[in-house]
């Protein structure tokens, strides 16, 4: 049993180290891509400002670029607010489903007392759990079928 646990821990550590390398790689790649996207965005804003400046003047160009940035920011805020609202509704629905699926108080009390029962009398607890599993399996139709 000890060898199996050691092997499982070894596999877990190998997986963790490869996951850490993968996360580092994704973080560095995302950072580099972010710098390039930011550079492209600044170049796009400057090109827009230069184009509008040749058509309407420097002040109008600054106002157009500022208005476009403000409109973009408002759209992003609206989308984030809608997504947050949807997430909040999903969380509330999930909490309501969990509250409705909670076991009755008798079952909850039995599950709460199970560790102390196992500490006080492990054999009796094992017999009780196995008989409960047997009754549950028979009620679900598992096990031998009666001869026809």
The average pLDDT across 88-112 equals 79
Q: How confident is the model at residue 96 (pLDDT cuts 50, 70, 90)?
A: confident
Q: How many CB atoms sit inside 10 A of residue 111's CB? A: 10
50 and 61 in contact (C-beta within 8 Å)?
A: yes
**Which among 48, 40, 43 has a CA at the least distance from the CA of 71?**
48
Q: How confident is the model at residue 16 (pLDDT cuts 50, 70, 90)?
A: low
Tell me how many helices (H) and strands (E) the chain has: 4, 0
61 and 53 in contact (C-beta within 8 Å)?
A: yes
pLDDT exceeds cutoff 60 at 14: no
Predicted pLDDT of residue 20: 74
Helices 105-120 & 122-139 angle (0-180, nearest 10):
140
pLDDT tens track for 65-84: 888 889 988 999 999 999 99
pLDDT tens track for 31-42: 999 899 999 999
Q: How far apart are CA 127 and CA 129, in angstroms?
A: 6
């Amino acid at each position: 049993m000890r060898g199996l646990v050691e092997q499982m821990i070894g596999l877990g550590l190998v997986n963790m180290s490869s996951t850490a390398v993968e996360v580092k790689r994704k973080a560095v790649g995302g950072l580099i891509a972010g710098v390039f996207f930011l550079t492209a965005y600044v170049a796009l804003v400057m090109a827009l400002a230069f184009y509008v400046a040749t058509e309407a003047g420097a002040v109008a160009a600054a106002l157009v670029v500022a208005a476009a940035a403000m409109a973009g920011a408002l759209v992003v805020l609206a989308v984030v607010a809608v997504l947050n609202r949807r997430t909040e509704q999903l969380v509330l629905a999930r909490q309501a489903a969990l509250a409705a699926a909670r076991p009755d108080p008798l079952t909850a009390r039995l599950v709460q007392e199970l560790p102390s029962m196992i500490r006080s009398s492990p054999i009796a607890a094992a017999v009780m759990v196995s008989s409960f599993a047997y009754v549950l399996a028979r009620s679900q139709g598992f096990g031998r079928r009666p001869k026809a």
